Amino acid sequence: MATRSLLRTTGATGAPAPARDLALLLARVALGAVLVAHGWQKAGGGLGATADGFAQMEIPLPQAAAAFAIGVELVGGAMLVLGLLTPVVGLLVLVDMAGALWFAHRDAGLFVTEGGGELVLVIGVLGLALAAVGAGRLSLDHALTRARA
């Protein structure tokens, strides 16, 4: 019984719930901002230009892949900031970054300065972590869940 009460106040991580929720909020906002910036960069050049770049990298179905990447990064990034459908968006971010790692960065090593995959690796794993843990109490996910209950 005491363990159950402790988990309610500290969460599974052992961190106090307010600290955990603040950390999740900061992670979501930071990741969302980075994604929106990258999506905006792709969208600014136009879907066609992004698809052409993807075709040059031999990404299969470059038009669909470009639309997916722009959508996940722009819309998904904004949804992460709000904490809306966080588990779904986190998995979509993971898929987007897995594609980027495989098709654009896999042969370039780790460091981004050399075209490597460190940034997409961190973004993808953070998306996975948010998908697994959730958005926390400072989110629309939490507010909508409470409203239904």
User: Residue 3: what pLDDT?
Assistant: 38
Tokens representing residue 139 in the block: 């989110």
52 neighbors 62 (Cβ within 8 angstroms): yes
Q: pTM for the full model?
A: 0.87
Q: Is the pLDDT of residue 15 over 90?
A: no
Q: Is the pLDDT of residue 40 over 70?
A: yes
pLDDT band (50, 70, 90) for residue 13: low
Could you report the per-residue pLDDT of 83-126, keeping only the tens digit for each?
999 999 999 999 999 999 999 999 999 999 999 999 999 999 99
**Nearest-angstrom CA–CA distance, 9 and 16:** 6
Q: Is the pLDDT of residue 76 over 90?
A: yes
66 neighbors 42 (Cβ within 8 angstroms): yes
Q: What value does the mean pLDDT take over residues 14-20?
A: 83
Domain boundaries, the chain: 17-148
Axis crossing angle, helix 62-71 with helix 17-45, rounded to the nearest 10? 140
Q: Is the pLDDT of residue 44 over 60?
A: yes
